[in-house]
Amino acid sequence: MFRKEVNEAKSKSRLGNVLIIQPISYTLISCFGISLALATLAFGYFGSYTKKATAGGLLMPEQGLLRISSTGSGIISRIEAADGSQVEKGQPLFVISAERHSVEGGTQKIISEQIKHREVLLKNARSLADERLASQIRMADTRLRSLNDELAQFPHEINLLERRVQLAKAHHARQIELSAASFVSVAQTQQAEADMLAIQGQVETLRRAKATMHREMLELESIKEDSILRHKSDISDIDNSLSLIRQDLAENNVRVEQVEVAPYSGTLTGTNVQLGQQVTAGSLLSSLIPSDSDIAAHIYVPAKQAGFIEVGQKVSLRYAAYPYQKFGMGKGVVAHISKSPYASQELPVHISSALQAVAGAPAQLFYRISVDLEAQDVIGYGKSHQLQAGMLLEADILQDRRRLYEWLLEPLFSITGKTSHSI
């Protein structure tokens, strides 16, 4: 429609062609911005963050650390086991003297001597009672043997007299017949009758004597039984008195010296008393670690942080004695969670003090978390350092690991979850 010259004239500018020039810095900045955006997106998608609960605690033997305290007041008179030594169950550890002195000497010692003197007197009385019973039984047995010997002769004597009675009766009968025939006088007949009656009287006398001996034997047996019963009663009274005296002596000995013994076998550690030191009831003397007991971490988590802690969660530990910047962090696994919380005033003094030292925790409720350690030592300066009971620590309990974008979008997920749940 238009000529070629018209179109060429329209395409030409009076000022020349437009030339767009872009500096190299703009290109570099654009590439850097795009790279930074892509890196941020990649970090948000591939990066992750682990939610953790941080709390303080200390190392303890798995079977517990026993604090050995004084059961009474007094002065440390003997230390039977050195710090760090192995002790057996029932072995004496410390001897505490509570002796008081007067002008005459040790008061408890004088009382102890008097009690022992009373004990000697009662033992002598017991021996005399035994001897008296033995003498009474011996005399009764002697008399019983004598009576038995006499009774053994009675049947023979009675038989002889009964034969004499029969002969006397026969003689008396003949005298009566002869008297009737006037061969003997009446006086002779009466004499024969008197002889017969006399012999019969002797028989009755022997029988009464036999019965008397039987009664005497029964009385002797009764006397023996009564003597034994009285002896048992006397011995019982004496034994009761001896028991009371031994109790008084034991109590007095306790007042004089108290012996603290090991309740079970283990290692004595943390002894903080010296010979001659004055202690009161409840004073801490030392600690006892059970034999063959591994070290575990006891972490005390505030109640507000304990909601999502579960058995099996991993734990990172920072020991106060071994700075983690130089020696690294310890590892462990949650093994047990207490079912009920502890108030700070319910915890042992050393644990409460440790919590204050580690985290400055105010008075609140704590759950005790037991953690099994992966290693019982720390490697430093080319050698192994054994972990010790009572060392303070801080612990991070790893609870929930998510990608960064999931943490950023958590509020949205929460709203969506609530909405879905409500629907």
Q: Are residues 145 and 249 in the same domain?
A: yes
How confident is the model at residue 356, as a pLDDT?
A: 64
Q: Which residues pair with 266 in a beta bridge?
A: 87, 290
% of the chain exceeding 70 in pLDDT? 75
CATH number of the CATH domain containing 311 = 2.40.30.170
| pTM attached to this predicted model | 0.50
130 in any annotated domain: yes
Based on the domain organization, do 166 and 209 belong to the same domain? yes
Q: What is the pLDDT of residue 8?
A: 59
The sign of the torsion formed by the CA atoms of 257, 290, 306, 331 equals positive
Tokens of 140: 């009764």
53 close to 397: Cβ distance less than 8 angstroms: yes
Do 235 and 126 contact (CB within 8 A), yes or no? yes
The pLDDT score that the predictor gives to residue 332 is 92
Taking the C-alpha atoms of residue 228 and residue 360, their distance in angstroms, rounded to an integer, is 76
Q: CA-CA distance, 283 to 287, in Å (whole number)?
A: 12
Cβ atoms of residues 354 and 320 within 8 Å: no
DSSP state of 15: T
**C-alpha separations of 96 from 73, 232, 253, 392 in Å:** 8, 41, 11, 32
Rounded-to-integer distance, Cα 220 and Cα 211, Å: 14
Co-location of 135 and 246 in the same domain: yes
CATH of the domain at 272: 2.40.50.100
Q: Could you tell me the two tokens for 41? A: 């997106």
Q: Assess whether pLDDT exceeds 60 at residue 398.
A: yes
Tokens of 246: 């031994």
Residue 40 inside a domain? The answer is: no
User: Would you say residue 25 lies in a domain?
Assistant: no
What tens digit of pLDDT does each residue of 284-329 get? 888 888 877 788 888 888 888 888 888 888 898 999 889 888 888 8
Cβ contact 327:265 at 8 Å: no
CA distances from 85 to 25, 94, 395 (A): 76, 13, 31
282: containing domain: 66-104+257-286
Residues 159 and 242 in one domain: yes
Q: Indicate whether 91 pLDDT > 60.
A: yes
Of 411, 309, 406, nearest in space to 46 by CA: 406
Instruction: Name the residue among 284, 342, 386 with its Cα closest to residue 66.
Output: 284
Q: How many domains does the chain have?
A: 3
Are 214 and 239 part of one and the same domain? yes
Residue 43 inside a domain? The answer is: no
Residue 17 lies in a domain: no
Indicate if 267 and 383 belong to the same structural domain: no
What is the tens place of the pLDDT at every residue in 204-246?
777 887 788 888 888 888 888 888 888 888 888 888 888 888 8
Domain membership of residue 45 (yes or no) is no
CA pair distance 224, 82, nearest whole angstrom: 61
| Angstrom distance (rounded) from CA 32 to CA 305 | 42
Q: Which residue would you say has higher pLDDT here, 13 or 160?
A: 160
Asked whether the predicted pLDDT for residue 414 surpasses 80, the reply is no
